């Protein structure tokens, strides 16, 4: 008679948390694979941001599932403060919270400058030259990982988890022309089906994983066909068909910025005829340019015009208007 050791069994909490943790690790690895290309040369330290984002959801999910959302919201506050301090270098009560040099003003200014830099910077950017942009991107990655961990571990919601996991892949694949797009799409499709299979409470995960593997295999085979894997009809980057050869559009830009030239002949600048009403009488005169005799700017500007009175015969009477 031989003694057999009983198989090691995990507790109910670990059995409940291990599949979502494995999915979180897989989705984070897939996201980091794409997000590293945002900075020049690479975005380092994303693994630490993923661990920091996982901490509130994991601690909240260790207890009873009914109280997990409330504990998660409480634990999210110190994790967010830690992430902001690590990204921007600003911490609360250093020296104070309010005021022009307070914590909220400094953090808000850093985020505002980073968002403004994001829309005016071509990727990949240099984190040394744009530290505020690096801080904003790091905080955005942290928030994305926090939402993914909460959807997988706390609320166990498959569809929000799929949407959040698609955001890094969407942003990077829109900006860059990534190599092996079929492989990347197949990996994301497999992750999406795995999330649906693990977090679905009604069906067995083994059936959904087998069906998901079959769907991924069919998609890979279909993507290699010449009738499917072809270029798009419209160029989505320019939102239109490419122009034909020989057609071009240009702007007329023929401005001259030469100096002002004074006319040789006298130019009548203003005439004031004698009014018909005695109360509105004014002196009729003509202003003509006269060359300056002094090198001083003030005297030359003052003596560059001279006034000449006009006779009454040289003026034409202006009939009165009654409207």
- Predicted confidence band of residue 148 (pLDDT cuts 50, 70, 90): very high
Give the CA angle between residues 154, 84, 91 to the nearest 5°: 125
Closest to 184 (Cα-Cα) out of 223, 138, 226? 223
Tokens of 232: 């798009």
Task: Return the SS3 of 307.
Answer: strand
- If asked whether residues 196 and 56 sit together in one domain, one would say no
Beta bridge pairs of residue 125: 39
What range does the domain containing 202 cover?
A: 179-225
Name the residue with higher pLDDT: 46 or 201.
Answer: 46
- If asked whether residues 127 and 35 sit together in one domain, one would say yes
Q: What pLDDT does 302 receive?
A: 47
* pLDDT average, residue stretch 292-301: 50
- Predicted confidence band of residue 203 (pLDDT cuts 50, 70, 90): low
Q: What pLDDT does 81 receive?
A: 95
- Which of 162, 195, 225 lies at the terminal end of a domain, its last residue? 225
- If asked whether residues 35 and 167 sit together in one domain, one would say yes
Residue 204 placed within a domain: yes
For residue range 154-201, list pLDDT tens digits in order.
999 998 999 999 999 888 888 888 888 888 888 888 898 889 888 877
- Flag whether pLDDT at 129 surpasses 80: yes
Task: Return the SS3 of 247.
Answer: coil
- Predicted confidence band of residue 79 (pLDDT cuts 50, 70, 90): very high
How confident is the prediction for the chain on average, in pLDDT? Answer: 76
- If asked whether residues 51 and 133 sit together in one domain, one would say yes
Q: What pLDDT does 233 receive?
A: 43
Distance CA 186, CA 195 (A): 14
- If asked whether residues 185 and 165 sit together in one domain, one would say no
- If asked whether residues 165 and 198 sit together in one domain, one would say no
C-beta separation of 189 from 176 below 8 A: no
Closest to 138 (Cα-Cα) out of 127, 129, 128, 124? 127
Residue 250 placed within a domain: no
| Percent of the chain predicted with pLDDT > 90 | 36
- If asked whether residues 110 and 169 sit together in one domain, one would say yes
Residue 274 placed within a domain: no
Distance CA 72, CA 56 (A): 6
* pLDDT average, residue stretch 225-239: 47
Beta bridge pairs of residue 235: 240
Residue 160 placed within a domain: yes
For residue range 84-116, list pLDDT tens digits in order.
999 999 998 877 888 888 899 999 999 999 999
- If asked whether residues 19 and 120 sit together in one domain, one would say yes
- If asked whether residues 172 and 60 sit together in one domain, one would say yes
Residue 89 placed within a domain: yes
- If asked whether residues 92 and 208 sit together in one domain, one would say no
Question: Which of 35-39, 181-185, 312-316 is predicted most confidently?
Answer: 35-39
Q: What pLDDT does 306 receive?
A: 61
* pLDDT average, residue stretch 47-64: 95
Give the CA angle between residues 80, 115, 173 to the nearest 5°: 90
Q: What pLDDT does 31 receive?
A: 95
Q: What pLDDT does 304 receive?
A: 55
Q: What pLDDT does 210 receive?
A: 63
Distance CA 318, CA 323 (A): 15
- If asked whether residues 111 and 194 sit together in one domain, one would say no
- If asked whether residues 52 and 172 sit together in one domain, one would say yes
Residue 276 placed within a domain: no
Residue 108 placed within a domain: yes
Distance CA 295, CA 299 (A): 8
Residue 268 placed within a domain: no
Helices (H), the chain: 12-35, 46-61, 68-88, 103-118, 131-149, 158-175, 181-199, 205-223, 297-302
Q: What pLDDT does 216 receive?
A: 60
- Flag whether pLDDT at 213 surpasses 80: no
For residue range 61-73, list pLDDT tens digits in order.
998 999 999 999 9
Provide the number of structural domains found in the chain. 2
DSSP string, 71-89: HHHHHHHHHHHHHHHHHH-
- Predicted confidence band of residue 278 (pLDDT cuts 50, 70, 90): very low
- Flag whether pLDDT at 226 surpasses 90: no
């Amino acid at each position: 008679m031989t003694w057999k050791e009983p198989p090691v069994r995990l507790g109910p909490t670990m059995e409940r948390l291990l599949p979502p943790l494995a999915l979180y690790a897989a989705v984070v690895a897939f996201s980091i694979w794409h997000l590293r290309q945002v900075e020049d040369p690479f975005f380092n330290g994303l693994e630490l941001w993923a661990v920091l984002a996982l901490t509130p959801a994991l601690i909240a999910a260790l207890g009873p599932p009914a109280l997990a959302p409330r504990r998660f919201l409480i634990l999210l506050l110190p994790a967010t403060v830690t992430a902001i301090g690590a990204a921007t270098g600003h911490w609360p009560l250093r020296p104070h919270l309010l005021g022009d040099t307070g914590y909220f003003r400094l953090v808000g200014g850093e985020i505002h400058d980073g968002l403004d830099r994001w829309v005016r910077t071509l990727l990949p950017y240099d984190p040394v030259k744009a530290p505020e942009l690096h801080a904003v991107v790091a905080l955005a990655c942290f928030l994305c990982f926090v939402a993914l961990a909460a959807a997988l571990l706390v609320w166990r919601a498959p569809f929000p988890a799929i949407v959040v996991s698609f955001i890094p892949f969407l942003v990077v694949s829109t900006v860059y022309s990534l190599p092996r797009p079929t492989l990347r799409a197949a990996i994301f499709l497999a992750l999406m089906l795995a999330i649906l299979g693990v977090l679905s409470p009604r069906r067995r995960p083994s059936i959904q994983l087998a069906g998901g593997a079959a769907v991924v295999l069919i998609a890979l085979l279909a993507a290699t066909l010449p009738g499917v894997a072809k270029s798009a009809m419209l160029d989505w980057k320019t939102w239109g068909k490419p122009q034909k050869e020989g057609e071009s559009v240009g702007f007329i830009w023929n401005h001259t910025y030469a100096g002002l030239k004074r006319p040789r002949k006298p130019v009548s600048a203003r005439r004031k005829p004698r009014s018909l009403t005695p109360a509105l009488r004014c002196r009729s005169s003509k202003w003509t340019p006269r060359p300056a005799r002094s090198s001083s700017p003030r005297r030359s500007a003052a003596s560059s015009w001279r006034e000449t009175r006009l006779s009454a015969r040289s003026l034409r009477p202006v009939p009165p208007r009654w409207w």
